[in-house]
Amino acid sequence: MFDGGPRACRQPSWISFLMRRTSQGMSKIHTYFIKLITYEQPGGHLFLSTIARTPLSYVLTILVAEQILRRVTPGTHSHPKYINPSELISFFHKYQSPCPQSQSTLPSKELDKPWITRTYEHGLPTRTEAEVRGMIYIPWKGKWTLTPRGANGWGTTDCNYLFWVRRPRNA
């Protein structure tokens, strides 16, 4: 199904796509994302749930969850393959739609627009293009909670986080 051919540009397949536990590592994830997002419709949404590559994530996911508490099968996680939010923001800041002009009705100047056109303080994108929100597990409640929008303190996106990006409507 994912042949990456030009048909994907003429006949997009989906408006929203959700990926959980994206931890293939940035060396392979670039190729995977490019193949995947070729099928995203203009204005479509991509949602990711993954883990940042930080000392805190190593302690919580590998040392505590796998080795001490044995809540997760040992070897499930690979710390070097975790993806930091800044790496995803950078990828989508540089990525440009691959559809050639001959297969699109849009002017060629619109085809080169990156998914994230600018970032602001702390390297965060505009709210209309992408968002990063940390997820924190509260064990005594047995619940996950989202960190507040714009939170940038220690631990907010240092372990589990959600990433959302929207394909430009004119891509």
Task: Check pLDDT > 60 for residue 47.
Answer: yes
34: amino acid identity, one letter: I
In order of start, what are the domains of the chain with their CATH numbers? 7-166 (3.40.50)
Prediction pTM value: 0.75
The Cα 124–Cα 106 span in angstroms is: 29
Contact (CB, 8 A) for 28 and 83: no
Sign of the alpha-carbon torsion through 75, 157, 171, 41: positive
The pair phi, psi for residue 123, each rounded to 5°, is 70, 20
Is the pLDDT higher at 39 or at 11? 39
Q: Tell me the pLDDT tens digit for each residue of 77-119.
A: 999 989 999 888 888 888 876 554 444 444 444 455 788 887 7
Q: Tell me the pLDDT tens digit for each residue of 25-43.
A: 555 667 777 777 777 778 8
The runs of H, that is alpha helices, within the chain are 7-10, 26-37, 55-57, 85-94, 108-111
